Amino acid sequence: MRTRTNQNPTGRSRTGGKAKLYAAALGLATAGTFVLSTGGASAHGYTDQPLSRQKMCAANGGIVANCGDIQWEPQSVEGLKGFPAAGPADGRICSAGHTNFGQLDQPKTPAGTAWPTTKVTAGANYTFRWQFTAMHATTDFKYFITKTGWNQNHALTRADLETTPFLTVPYNGQRPPATLTHTGTLPGGRSGHHVILGVWTVADTTNAFYSCADVTF
């Protein structure tokens, strides 16, 4: 996925913001957010299959409006790795702990409506797809899902999720291409609205990228 240079409300291009992102080694174009503990990773990405909240909020093609800063950096939802033992705090999982990406944590869109969902089938194979704006050595990709009867009326917590991933895709330190797909089996016995949390673990930093996607079984 190519970085576009569309103007944001401050008049700064996304290309300019990205240069600042790398110079600051923050993984974000805005200041005052999560700082990488071992230096900046040159990797950024998100899922668009199933459609993640950050992709829904992205400028130029996004389907959810007024999401704030995330519209300019949908690829930058980066936090500490090691989930669920470590990583973002409960209630801050979908934003990876970034306060300026806090719209991603809310159970409703900024308009107060339900997050749009991707239709999936319980127990069926599904092809997950990640888009990367920069690639990095990768440990693995893991996918978690909400429990049956989870609380949909608050920001996502570990108590809402099955703590064992239903799919783990090892990547053995390789760097992914710009678009990466892999297929796995979705959990059975699910119906209605759920959230699938994708976690892309970077091999040579202390961080991972988080991607929450709303689905309907």
Question: For 104-141, what is each residue's pLDDT tens digit?
Answer: 999 999 999 999 999 999 999 999 999 999 788 999 99
Mean pLDDT of the chain: 85
Which CATH number is 44-216 given? 2.70.50.50
3-state DSSP assignment of residue 66: coil
Q: How does pLDDT run across 27-64, given as a tens digit for each residue?
A: 333 333 333 333 344 448 999 999 999 999 999 888 99
pLDDT at 19: 38
d(CA 95, CA 52): 11
Q: How does pLDDT run across 174-186, given as a tens digit for each residue?
A: 999 999 999 999 9
d(CA 184, CA 201): 18
